Each structure stands twice: as C-alpha cells, then as structure tokens.
Amino acid sequence: MGITFDLLAKAAREEKLAHFLLFHGSGTIEREKAVLELALMLNCLEESDHKSKPCRECMACKKILSGNHPDIYLVRPPKTSIGIEQITQLQEKLYRKTYDGKYRVCLLDQAEKLTLPAANALLKITEEPPANTVIVLSTANAEGIITTLRSRAQEVFFSPPDEGTWAEEIEAFRLSGGDPDLARKIQEAGITPVKNRISLYLEMITQRDFLKMFNLFPMERDESVLFLQVLAVAIKEKILRGEQSPEVLKEIIQTTEMIRRQVNHRLVLEVLALKHLRLGGTDLG
C-alpha cells in the first residue's frame, strides 16, 4: 500500500507525483525534513539533469532552505487541534496561482489532530485538486486519520532511525524504545530525572513499598504523560522477557489516555500503581 521515500523522490524528480500524500511513522522532525526535501526537488530550477535535483544552490532552493519560499505552507495545530478555520484559510490560498515556484507544497503537521469538519473540508479540496499543488499530511500514527481521507492519499511510511544513525543522545533514544519524538521529549525533560523516576517507580513495585509513591508523584500533567510513555517502553521490554504481565501495559495505556482527557492525573497514577502492585512486581517471572 505505502511506498518508500526513495520511490516518491523519483516520482517528484520526474514530476509524476500524486497530489495528496500521507507521511507516517518515525518522528515529526524526520517527516518534516522529508517534506522539505520534496519541496526542493519539485521547485529546484536545475535543468540539466533530473538526478542533480535538488541543487540547493539555485534561487528556488535557497528560498526554500531559508524558509522564505511563498509557495511552501506549514499548518500546525495552534492548540490541541487543526480546526475548520485553518483549512478554510488554506483553501483560499490554494486556488490562486503560485507566486514563484513551480509547485506549491503544503504540510499539515500532526494531521491526526484534524477535527472532523476540518478533515471533511480537506477531503473536498482533494476532490478538486488545485493545480501544481502537493498536500502532505504528516502523522506519527496513520490510524488517527479518518478512513475517507486516508484512502485518498498516497501513503509513505518512514521507518524509525537506527540507533547507529541517531545523532542525538543515545540514552534518550534507548529510553524511548526508538521513537524519535519521545526521545526528544526525554532530552528536553532531562535524561537523569526521567530515568530516576522510572527506577523509583519500579523499585516501589518490586519492594511492594507503596509509601515510596509520595516521593514519586508530585508530577505535573505533562510530566505524568512523559513518565507513562517511558514506563510503557520499559514494561514492554519486561513483557518480552516474560518478567511482566501484559495486563500492566494495558493499564498504563489506559491511564495515559485518561490523563490526556484531563482526568485528575495524580489520582489515576495512584490507581495505576495500586493495580500494578496487585498484578505483580516486575521481578516476578
């Protein structure tokens, strides 16, 4: 179903590209770089040879690389979602002539956050595709895109980077289980505090010492979500080694969802820890 970026790049160089693309997998920054690369290939003015595109030196390439190209748009959720107003604003621009370039490239970042009306408005746009325009939906998880919209898109899957090619903190990458977005969040929060919190929690479970919780859980909401995401990675590894019941992972995922839905995070973390204690310590195999 999906194709690789290399195949897509070939199509772009030959100007045989689909108008509506869905980039998924890997991390936000990795996908954004790929969109930039695509915009370069489509707009590069180098004429002599397809294979030397993008040259990164012509006027079009330079404008794109400096973030000053008027035909490259980036739409991001201003808060928690991409709403209908943003798609309507975009639509007004899409049917005008391109300013400068050969191709207009439009990236919708975190496309899983499109509201239903916004997704439907976008669907209408794809039914009457504007000329010389490529729209790219970008998401970590393609399942979050409504089926009607997803089925219209050419899917391009990005594998997560290998540990060896990960240029940033390797320890953050390991703690994230190979998820670039999560690894960057860990770096931002600080590797040591994140690691300490996880060890303290696992210690509490193995020693069945519920009082340790008081040192552990004065956490903010965002910190709680990050803690649970990293804990989920650690628990997955334990499940694979047969040291932990898969039930625990299910509870962690549900707890994360509840915190995202604004339920009192301290309360649900305590409930999770109690359930985890009941389901058994991490050293019980």
**Residue 54 beta carbon to Zn ion: minimum distance, rounded to whole angstroms:** 5
DSSP annotation of 82:
B
One residue of 17, 44, 121, 182 binding Zn ion per CB under 5 A: 44
Indicate the residue among 62 and 96 with the shorter CB distance to Zn ion: 62
- Going 54 to 75 to 30 to 188, the CA torsion angle's sign is positive
Closest CA relative to residue 122, chosen from 25, 19, 11:
19
Q: Among residues 32 and 46, whose Cβ is nearest to Zn ion?
A: 46
Binding Zn ion (rule: CB under 5 A), the pick from 55, 74, 191, 253 is 55
From the list 18-26, 49-57, 210-218, 256-264, the region that binds Zn ion by CB under 5 A is: 49-57
65 binding Zn ion? (CB under 5 A): no
Least distance (Å) between residue 14 CB and Zn ion: 16
Classify the C-alpha dihedral 189-195-198-201 as positive or negative. Answer: negative
Q: In this structure, which amino acid lies at residue 66?
A: S
Q: Which is nearer to Zn ion, 46 or 270 (CB)?
A: 46
Query: Is position 58 an interface residue for Zn ion (rule: CB under 5 A)?
Result: yes
Shorter beta-carbon distance to Zn ion: residue 65 or 213: 65
Give the Cα separation of 152 and 126 in Å (integer).
8
Q: Pairing between strand 133-139 and 104-108?
A: parallel
Cα separation, 261 vs 15, whole angstroms = 44
Residues that bind Zn ion (CB under 5 A): 44, 46, 54-55, 58, 61
